[in-house]
């Protein structure tokens, strides 16, 4: 009786400790608040590069979606563009054939990508990391080929151009300068980021970290490893689908490029630059990657890929933590953001 009471007391204290850690991790730090005030405040600033900023916001959401499985769950994917492309094509088709409201179209696109993530997670959960790599790559390749062959629906290699977009809320038209597009994208990114942040700092998110570190130990502790991985993979697919929908809606275009392998490779590079297992890493990595790509393409149009490759080699040799100290103020002791 005494031992049972002590076990219950110990379990209660552990639960309280977990809640205390969760509360400490979930606090918004001043740097985070400033970051989002600036990002949202740009909507009202006299900026000329809204189209570039809109693309960065979309890529940031795409990188966050991959971070949910790679950084927090340990699932490596070479075909994450499958869900990005599904979201883009779904949003474009809904706008073209049904003249659907952008927000409703984004929700439907999210649902399609979520369903695809749930169905393909059955394949991804089987086998080793190498098997998962091949399966994710295979799924993206199949969708790419289907989009190419079904030219009557997707436009094939020519893509879907001139996709009409109805005004947001029936009143706000997308302007040619990209201000409305950026505002729409960054507000969506912020809302989804807040949700993702709450998830990764919850007991569910903590269990994902345990699975990432040692799946066998997590299973021995009673954590349903495959169920948690499936949930994380499905959530990640939903976020990628929203990112693809935003791209199609704000550009009025969807092509095979959204399903191409380079999309999956680029988002992996963004996480390498910004840091995986740390939601802000995807955002910062997307911004650095896109600004570097834009700047280097103007500086050396033929060799910009060489310089980005060189940066990645330096990151691997020197070590990521030594290079990213300027933005480690986002994550202090008490856990990663």
pLDDT digits (tens, 9 = 90+) for 272-324: 888 888 889 899 989 988 988 888 777 777 777 777 778 777 777 766 665 65
Residue 296 within any structural domain of the chain: yes
Instruction: Give a yes or no: residue 137 inside a domain.
Output: yes
Q: What is the pLDDT of residue 293?
A: 84
How confident is the model at residue 301, as a pLDDT? 73
Which CATH number does the domain housing residue 148 bear?
1.10.3470
Q: Which of 246, 226, 238 is nearest to 199 (CA)?
A: 238
Task: Tell me whether residue 204 is in a domain.
Answer: yes
170: left (phi over 0), alpha (psi -120 to 50) or beta: left
Residues 240-261 as b/e (b if ≥16 CB within 10 A, e otherwise) read bbbbbbbbbbbbbbbbbebbbe
Which has the closest alpha carbon to 192: 328, 87, 82, 92?
87
Domain membership flag for residue 127: yes
| Domain membership flag for residue 36 | no
Q: Distance between CA atoms of 137 and 119, rounded to whole angstroms?
A: 15
Domain of residue 319: give its range: 47-330
pLDDT of residue 2: 47
Among candidates 337, 68, 293, 321, which has minimal Cα distance to 201? 337
Residue 82 has what pLDDT? Answer: 95
Category of 126 on φ-ψ map: left (φ > 0), alpha (ψ -120 to 50) or beta: beta
Query: Which residues does the chain have with pLDDT short of 70?
Result: 1-25, 127, 318-337
Does 3 map to a domain?
no
H helix count then E strand count, the chain: 15, 0
pLDDT for the residue 182:
95
Element (H, E) at 89: helix 81-98
Counted domains in the chain: 1
> pLDDT tens digits, residue range 175-198?
888 899 999 999 999 999 999 999
Asked whether residue 235 is domain-assigned, the answer is: yes
Query: What pLDDT does 311 receive?
Result: 77
C-alpha distances in Å from residue 171, one per residue of 41, 174, 188, 246: 21, 10, 18, 18
Is residue 225 included in any domain, yes or no?
A: yes
């Amino acid at each position: 009786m005494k031992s049972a009471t002590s076990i219950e007391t110990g379990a209660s204290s552990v639960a309280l400790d977990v809640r205390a850690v969760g509360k400490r991790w979930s606090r918004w730090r001043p740097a985070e608040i400033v970051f989002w005030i600036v990002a949202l405040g740009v909507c009202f600033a006299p900026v000329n590069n809204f189209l570039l900023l809109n693309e960065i916001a979309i890529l940031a959401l795409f990188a966050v979606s991959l971070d949910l499985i790679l950084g927090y769950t340990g699932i490596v994917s070479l075909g994450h563009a499958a869900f990005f492309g599904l979201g883009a094509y779904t949003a474009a088709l809904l706008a073209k054939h049904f003249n659907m409201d952008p927000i409703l179209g984004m929700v439907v696109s999210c649902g399609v990508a979520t369903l695809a993530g749930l169905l393909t997670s059955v394949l991804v959960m089987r086998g080793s990391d190498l098997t998962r790599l091949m399966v994710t790559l295979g799924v993206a390749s199949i969708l790419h080929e289907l989009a190419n062959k079904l030219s009557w629906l997707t436009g094939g290699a020519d893509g879907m151009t001139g996709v009409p977009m109805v005004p947001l809320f029936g009143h706000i038209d997308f302007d040619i300068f990209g201000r409305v597009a950026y505002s729409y994208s960054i507000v969506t990114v912020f809302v989804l980021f807040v949700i993702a942040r709450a998830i990764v700092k919850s007991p569910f998110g903590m269990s994902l970290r345990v699975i990432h570190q040692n799946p066998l130990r997590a299973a021995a502790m009673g954590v349903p490893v495959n169920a948690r991985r499936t949930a994380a993979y499905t959530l990640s697919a939903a976020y990628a689908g929203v990112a693809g929908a935003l791209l199609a809606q704000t550009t009025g275009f969807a092509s095979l490029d959204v399903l191409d392998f380079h999309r999956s490779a680029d988002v992996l590079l963004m996480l390498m630059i910004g840091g995986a297992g740390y939601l802000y890493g995807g955002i910062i990595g997307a911004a650095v990657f896109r600004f570097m790509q834009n700047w280097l393409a103007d500086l050396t149009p033929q060799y910009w890929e060489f310089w980005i490759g060189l940066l990645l080699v330096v990151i691997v040799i020197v070590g990521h933590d030594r290079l990213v100290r300027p933005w480690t103020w986002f994550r202090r002791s008490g856990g990663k953001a």
